[in-house]
Structure formats: structure tokens, C-alpha cells
Amino acid sequence: MTHRVASVQDLEALRDSIRADRDPNKTVLAICAGSGCLAYGCLNLVAAFRDEVSKRGLDDKVEVRATGCPGFCERGALLTVFPQGIFYQRVKIEDVPEIISETVLGGKIIERLLYVDPNTGERYVNEDDVPFYARQHRLLLGNNNKIDPTSIDDYLAIGGYRALARALFDMTPEAIIAEVKRSGLRGRGGGGFPTGVKWESTRKAHGDVKYVICNCDEGDPGAYMDRSLMEGNPHAVLEGMLIGAYAIGSDRGYIYVRNEYPMAVENVGTAIRQAEEYGLLGESILGSSFGFRVQVSRGGGAFVCGESTALMASLEGKVGEPRAKYIHTSERGLNNLPSNLNNVETWANVPLIILNGADWYSQIGTDGSKGTKIFSLVGKVNNTGLVEIPMGMPLREIVYDIGGGIPQGKAFKAVQTGGPSGGVIPESLLDLPVDFDELTRVGSMMGSGGMIVTDENTCMVDLAKYFVSFLQEESCGKCLPCREGLKRMYQILNDITSGRGTEGDIELLERLGSTLQDSSLCALGSTAANPVMTTIRYFRDEYEAHIKEQRCPAGVCKELITYYIIDDKCPGCGLCVDPCPTNAITFVAKKKPVILDQDLCIKCGTCYDVCNLGAVGVK
């Protein structure tokens, strides 16, 4: 049955009826069905729970809900049992009957499935107490496992579209813009431009037709926060866009989602259909004179299309290439008309600001960066996943307290923030409060929120080479410094990591980097040198070791390293003999060290990886 909601009273009546149908004490088994847990096979888990619940005739008492991603991807598949908030991790299909019998029916905790802090040995029952979550401030992600993203009723039940009602009936467009400005919200897509100021200039721009656009073309390797919001809570993004459109004076919009995110495409499509059916999208929304329509446009997989002008070119059906922004897109954007583009996370913040007020929002964060930011915490860190923190949290707290430190007791080396064109931040700056301005000050950037942790086994020159290799392929190729400059940077870095580096290479890289920063057409080019510039700035000695001593201190660059057997430690077990692809290792006798023939060794590192005793060295 379709309810068309024609007024605020209708909306509240609908919300009340949805809530009345729900028993707050009913057990809800919330299983993460985000992209990470999908890879763990969570859909089978959802099906198994549903079967088990039906089989035992518990359909009235237990709801099995496939939700969005709450963030702790390292420990998937994730299950939260509401209303208690019991958190089970690494749940397998075999655990299903026991969870129903013991926890759901018996009220008992299954110790085995609880999270145990590997550092302290402490067990945690409640999701909110798990250190990974406890230090976060999950304004946005916190809702992900409270709702089924394909159900608008779930979103309404947690207060959805109330901010829209307030915006339409209790606020003027100018008041909304003033509120967003006062909140201090800055664009989460990378630039950090004040959102309210952007809205204001689009509102003031001449023209009857204006667009609002949502950028969900998240192309950074290892970053997936926008994906998880779009997959897990698409109505929050829609509600933010609706409020923005009303404030700006726009009646049409686009959501640009990369096609590599099939579930985001599907869920936002479902959300749009549902909102249209309820009358929350379309003409005279909630009985007001405001109307808004939004279309989904799928991106074709070009990293550069995350750049606003390239994205708009792509929306127009042209090749996604940036153009100069001397005339802002707020004046001439999509189809040469005033356009306001914000990223997914920015839009999702808007309903919270309207509902709770700018004063509440601006209490969170630092002087220049308000609110929370979601980061993809990945790489050499124990707890990989999505973390949402208040702006200003020291990097050390993110890596150690939330991230649980570096695996296998290895030493921390650096964090690379801001995606492929962000910079690396060394250990000496671990106490840096993470916000827009501080990250920029040390040569990195917020970007869209990638955070890649590296340990002692990561070579900084090799890391810079990886990002430059990515960027030279993803550069659109339009402007000379980005296209030719990145190509040359890659050649030089490749030479250095192959032992062919020469005196002057570092200075040439710096000169190329400064030209890219200064003279590129768009932000992809002007930031592309960050990985190189910051690794030189903080790890110059590592570059010099490669060039002057033909040595890779991290033991990564093949041409510069030698594997050797540490005779004292090798008991001659022979475990490394068979895996060696070139038969370079010879078994001598038990209790005698094996022999590694350097002439045959291709430095694949297999022996190093298989040896449990640390008897293979690398220098």
C-alpha cells in the first residue's frame, strides 16, 4: 500500500503508525550486508538466520535485518543483536542455531563470538564498548546498522525526513544557508570548501534552472566511506540533497555514482523510487510549493570524474575532462547553468545540522573543521575498517586506540592520508590533530578520507612510485604538466627503486613536483606530487640510501635487496626448500642450516614468508 504523504501531519502520522507496528523489545538480528561483509558471504548468513527463525516459529519475535556497514570490516561477518546491542564478530553459518538458542532464546552470551582485544585480552559484549567503536563519534555511520537501507520505513522510524519538514516549513532558504554556514560544515570530498558559502553563491547566481549534484565517484584505492553511506543509508543523502535544493532554489539534481558500486546504484535507486511513492520527491513535497526530482547517473570508471568539472562534463555525456574554474560551477556548471556539487558525506551531514542546529554541530571538531569525518583505515593496522571520528582527533589515537596498532608487533612508519594524491605523515607527527588545515600544513590533505597505515616493511620510494603509477594512468591527459610530468616522475622513481638512481634525481623530482603543484589545470594534477614531495620531505634518507648506497632500507625493492639464511636461527627444517620457485635453496641435513644460492635467487621473498623462525634475513 502506498501512502502519499501530503503534509507534515501526514508524515508524522505515517511515522507513528510505522513505530506503532514495531515492538521495541522485539529481537533484531542486524547483519552487516555492506560490501566488505558481502565478501565474507554475509548474504548466506542472512538466509540461514531467516531459515532458522522460521523453522523455530519465531517470525513474530525475531526480525532478521540485512543492514549497511557499521565499519569494523576486519572482523566481518558482523552481527549486532538489538535491543541489547550485543556484538558478535566473525560469525559463520555454523553459529546460527547456537545464536538463536543461546542468545536469542536463552539470553546468554556466546563468549567465542565476542570481540577480544588482542592487546589486553579483554572481552566486550556491547558494540558501543568495543574499543574500535568506543572512541568513534558515529553521527553518520551509527545509523547504518539500525536500518535496512532498502526500507524507507526503517529510515522514517529513526526520525528520517524530519529535518526536511523543518527546513520546508520552519525555515526560509536564507535561514537554512545561514545555519549551514554557522555550523562550519566543509566539503567532505577533498577541497574542504565551506558548504554554506557554496550554497549561497549558487542561490545568488543568475538563472531559473539550477542543479544540485551528489558526487559518489569515490575512486581512491582503499577508500569506501561514501560507498558505505550510499549503500547503507541512501535516504540520509537524499534528505540532505532535498534540503540543499530547497535552500539553493533548485528543482532538479543528479547523483553520480561510479558503476563499480553496484549496490550503491541499486540502493539509491530503490530509495528514490520509495521517496517518489511517498511524495517526498516530485512536485509539492509535503504539500509545500517546493518540488525536486533527482536522477542517478552511473560513472564509467575514470578517477578524474570525481573532479567536479570533469564530473559535470561526464553528466553532459562528454568525455570526463576538467576545465578551469576561474568561473565557478556555482555560476556556470552542468549545462553551463548554476550547479552545486557536494559529496555524499557532506550531503548526509545536512539533515543532522538542520535537526540539531548549528550550535550543536559546531561543538564537535576544531576551530576550522567542524563535525566528524569518516576515514577508511586500511593497510598495516590491526583493525581495518571505516572509522568516524570528531575532527581534531590525534592521528596516534586513530592508529593505536581505534586501529589497535600495527600487526605482528612491527614498527609504525607512516600514514598516507587523502587518497592517491595525499601525502605521508611520519611517526614524529603522530600527535597531529586530524583536520583539514593541519593535514594540509604537513603536506598531506584530507582528501575524501583515505588513511593507509604503513609499517617498517614499507619502502617509501616504492610507495610514492605506486601512487604515481596510479595517477599517471588516471590523469585525463589534457594538461601537459600532469600527463608528461607524472610520466617522468614515474620513470625517475622506477630508476631509483631499480638501483639506477643518480645524483640529482631527488632535486629533479622536487622541481617536477613543484611544477605540477603550480601549473596543473585541476586538483588531480596539482595534488598528484604530494606522495613524492612528502616522502622526500620526511624520508629523504631513504631516497638517498637507494641512490647513493644502492640499498632499500625497508627491504622491498627487489633489485636492491639480498635474502640470506641466518645460520644461527635455521634448524634445517627444509620448509623453505620446496616453495622456492628456482630451487635456489638446498637442504643439507637436519640441524644444519640450508644453503641459499644467490645466483639462482630471484628475490621473490617466498622463503622469507614461509619461515616461521625468522631464519631468513633480508638486507
Least distance between other proteins and beta carbon 518 (Å): 5
Q: In the complex with other proteins, which residue's Cβ is closer, 421 or 520?
A: 520
The only residue of 101, 362, 519, 550 in contact with other proteins, by rule CB under 8 A: 519
Q: Is residue 24 near other proteins by the rule CB under 8 A?
A: no
Question: CA-to-CA distance for 41 and 32, rounded, in angstroms?
Answer: 10
* Placement of cell 558559502 in the chain: 197
Question: CA-to-CA distance for 235 and 241, rounded, in angstroms?
Answer: 10
Q: Is residue 314 near other proteins by the rule CB under 8 A?
A: no
Q: Is residue 518 near other proteins by the rule CB under 8 A?
A: yes
Least distance between other proteins and beta carbon 199 (Å): 22
Contact stretch for other proteins (CB under 8 A) within 42-50, 97-105, 209-217, 506-514: 506-514
Size of the residue set binding other proteins (CB under 8 A): 36
Q: What does each C-alpha distance from 618 to 165, 420, 566 come to in angstroms?
A: 64, 28, 10
Q: Is residue 486 near other proteins by the rule CB under 8 A?
A: yes
Residues 6+ apart with CB under 8 A from 79: 29, 30, 31, 32, 45, 87, 88, 89, 91, 99, 113
Least distance between other proteins and beta carbon 479 (Å): 5
Q: Is residue 328 near other proteins by the rule CB under 8 A?
A: no
Q: Which three cell numbers stand for residue 103?
A: 542468545
Residue 293's region, left for phi above 0, alpha for psi from -120 to 50, else beta, is beta
Task: Please list the alpha-helical segments (H only) found in 435-552.
Answer: 436-441, 460-474, 480-497, 505-519, 523-527, 530-548
Question: CA-to-CA distance for 390 and 403, rounded, in angstroms?
Answer: 15
Q: Is residue 497 near other proteins by the rule CB under 8 A?
A: no
Q: Is residue 299 near other proteins by the rule CB under 8 A?
A: no
Q: Is residue 474 near other proteins by the rule CB under 8 A?
A: yes
Q: Is residue 12 near other proteins by the rule CB under 8 A?
A: no
Beta strand pairing status for 450-455 and 412-417? antiparallel
Residues 6+ apart with CB under 8 A from 598: 562, 584
Q: What does each C-alpha distance from 525 to 172, 230, 393, 416, 480 come to in angstroms?
A: 40, 28, 29, 18, 10
The only residue of 13, 175, 508, 588 in contact with other proteins, by rule CB under 8 A: 508
Least distance between other proteins and beta carbon 468 (Å): 11
Least distance between other proteins and beta carbon 303 (Å): 9
Contact stretch for other proteins (CB under 8 A) within 63-71, 174-182, 220-228, 478-486: 478-486
- x/- site string to other proteins, residues 521 to 560, per CB under 8 A? x---------------------------------------
Least distance between other proteins and beta carbon 485 (Å): 6
Query: Hey, which residues does 216 pair with through a beta bridge?
Result: 257
Closest to 601 measured CA to CA, from 587, 616, 615, 580: 580
Q: Is residue 441 near other proteins by the rule CB under 8 A?
A: no
**Amino acid (one-letter) located at 462:** D
Q: Is the dihedral of CA 363, 228, 230, 203 positive or negative?
A: positive
Contact stretch for other proteins (CB under 8 A) within 20-28, 63-71, 513-521, 541-549: 513-521
Q: In the complex with other proteins, which residue's Cβ is closer, 507 or 567?
A: 507
Residue numbers of the site for other proteins (CB under 8 A)? 302, 304, 319, 323-324, 326-327, 472-481, 483-488, 491-492, 495, 504, 508, 511-512, 514-515, 518-521
